[in-house]
Amino acid sequence: MKTHTLLMPLDMHLHLRDAVMLENVAPLTAYSFSGAIVMPNLVPPVATLDDVVAYKERIMAAVPNDYFEPYMTLFYKNYDKAFLESVAEEITAIKLYPAGITTNSEGGVSSFDIEEMRTTLQAMSDLEIPLCVHGETDGFVMDREAEFMSIYELLATSFPKLKIIMEHITTKAAVDMLDKFDNLYATITIHHLILTLDDVVGGMMQPHLFCKPIAKRPEDLDALLSVALQAHPKVMFGSDSAPHPQHAKESCGCAAGVFTAPIALQLLCEVFDQFGKLDNLQDFVSDNAQRIYGICPEFKEVTLEERPFVVPANYGGVVPMFAGETLSWAIESID
């Protein structure tokens, strides 16, 4: 039986929510990952030192062991330097959302005026706090990410020492940016390494595959696969696992978000193995992120094996991607 061992897997973009949902989903990630960058788009967003500290405590209370590190983020606003100095120790990054572009992002940035943002972004650069960005405009849905490239360019050239992470990239346009600007990095989800728009709406509409940014064209998928499979040193795995209750997905007005946390490592093995690139998975799912973010996660060794694994129909009322379908890799042991 073929097996593959991963050390300290990291999920560099994760939604854990709060309260009952947090208690439901946090253990699923803590089971197989050493740590995760936790998104701040709660209602209201995580935007003060107290918010960060209290949310981290709630996360730790929801996970059954100590071998999981939630890397906390703050919701981007135009903060001053004194405030950023006061929170720097408690956060790993700051997450910027354009206003209203996705779930719980209403309080995000409504105009990318570099002068208005300069104090905050320069302070982040000085304090070495990475900026994670949801890079979509409010244009035509298939063009939103590509249209955002000029904003990435503006940010990258205005703040050349600021680490900027293009979150959950879905296009060849974003892939092409990686080699153009030293300070641009990217996370890639597992669903965007499998799906195109055809899978979402080409046949019967699939609400559990609907997310922001929407899956794109075959040539975009190929570009994403090319950098992920070679574990390009500037790309990291970030699931963007975004749980919504079943009724919010299977409804008139489907919430955006694909729930992959409990099947992410199995799917990553499946995809990397399919292309004969399993040896590069360690870099993609941990080592690149450790280097880019300068983090040293707790030891965890996850062994997967190639055998059928039927994805559960739901996890506490949240339907995962590929519910009821059979994957070809399963988690065998975790030490």
Active site members: 240
Should residue 260 be labelled a site residue for ligand NCD when binding is judged by CB under 6 A? no
Residue window 214-253: x/- pattern of binding to Zn ion, with contact defined by CB under 5 A? --------------------------x-------------
Give the C-alpha separation, 245 to 277, whole Å. Answer: 35
Q: Is 37 helix (H, G, I), strand (E, B) or coil?
A: strand
Are 95 and 75 spatial neighbours (Cβ–Cβ below 8 Å)?
Answer: yes
Compare residues 102 and 196 and give the one whose CB is closer to ligand NCD: 102
By CB under 6 A, the residues from 262 to 321 that bind ligand NCD are none
Token output for 140:
């035509």
Residue 211 interacting with ligand NCD (CB under 6 A): yes
Least Å distance between CB 235 and Zn ion?
16
Q: Cβ-count burial of 7 within 10 angstroms (0-12 exposed, 13-18 middle, 19+ buried)? A: middle
Q: Which does 211 bind (CB under 5 to 8 A by kind): ligand NCD, Zn ion, none?
A: ligand NCD
Q: Does 232 bind ligand NCD (CB under 6 A)?
A: no
Among 56, 6, 50, 9, which residue's Cα sits nearest to residue 30? 9
By CB under 6 A, name the one of 151, 256, 327, 330 that touches ligand NCD: 256
Within positions 32 to 61, which residues make up the interface with ligand NCD, using CB under 6 A? 41
102 binds ligand NCD (CB under 6 A): yes
Specify the stretch interacting with ligand NCD by CB under 6 A; choose among 101-109, 170-178, 229-237, 321-329: 101-109
The token duo for 296 is: 């040293």
199 CB-near residues (< 8 Å, 6+ apart): 206, 209, 215
Q: Which two tokens stand for residue 304?
A: 């997967």
Kindly state whether residue 240 participates in binding ligand NCD, applying the rule CB under 6 A.
yes
Structure tokens at 108: 């995000």
By a kind-dependent CB cut-off of 5 to 8 A, residue 125 interacts, out of ligand NCD, Zn ion, none, with: none
| Torsion angle in degrees (nearest 10) through CA of 290, 291, 293, 299 | 20
